[in-house]
Amino acid sequence: MTKLVFLLSGGPDSGSLRALLLGTDLRDRLARAGAQRLQVNVDDESVAAAMRIASPTGPVRAVVSVWTTDERTPTGPVVEALTAVLDGSGTSLAGFEVEERLPLTPPAVPDGQRTDALANVAVLRRPAELDESEWRHRWLVDHTPVAIETQGTFGYVQNVVLDAVTDDAPYVSAIVEELFPMAATTDLHAFYGSGGDDAELRSRMERMMASVSRFGADQGIDLVPSSRYVWSL
């Protein structure tokens, strides 16, 4: 199975963009294009209080993930389906084929139901001073357990970028999704799972930031808070 992840920037107000992405037209077009599953992460009013970080190519306003039925399904029809739905909205689309890893599998929810979570999506770019193998080791091997141990996450998805599938896609190395309790939109203790203990919070934050800096995720990233929706097609 092939997974494609699309970063959406610009476009209409959050309500209108949300309506386009959650509407039946997108799901119908993707199903005809050979897609099997759709996930929409959209920065909307439910996560309005959460922190955002925009790189020079951002801000990213939504992330759309599409799973095709098998590796032989061409990506072109999937890109065309998304482009057709967004036509005239002023939304920019950058798509990538990714390799998915699931350190913490997100909970299953009924089709179209919002996951009860703050779904943070981080767009990562490998620093030039780190070669690919070293960067992957520091991130996937060294950092992954630190992220799980120091944060209040209950879902963790790592998407390693393999190739761009749209023209003029920006440089992106990985796209990560982490699910936090909704309280984490405004409460650092909920975000870091520190149980209200200030000393524990400081310790977890320091350990997390030190680990993040080792693979360059403390710079040049996009951080997109979102609501998460999934459908089988």
List the CATH number of the domain containing 83.
Answer: 3.30.70
Q: How far is CA 119 from the centre of its chain?
A: 8
Number of domains in the chain: 1
Domain hosting 138: range is 3-232
Residue of 46, 38, 56, 54 whose CA lies nearest to 14: 46
The per-residue pLDDT string of the chain (233 residues; one tens digit each, 9 = 90 and over) reads 899 999 999 988 989 999 999 999 999 999 999 999 999 999 999 999 999 999 877 799 999 999 998 766 679 999 999 999 999 999 999 999 999 999 999 999 999 999 999 999 999 999 999 999 999 999 999 999 999 999 999 999 999 999 999 998 999 999 999 999 999 999 999 999 999 999 999 999 999 999 999 999 999 899 999 999 999 99
Give one word for 65, left, alpha or beta, with left for phi > 0 and alpha for psi -120 to 50: beta
d(C-alpha 191, C-alpha 184), whole Å = 4
Residue of 173, 57, 56 whose CA lies nearest to 126: 173
Predicted model pTM: 0.95
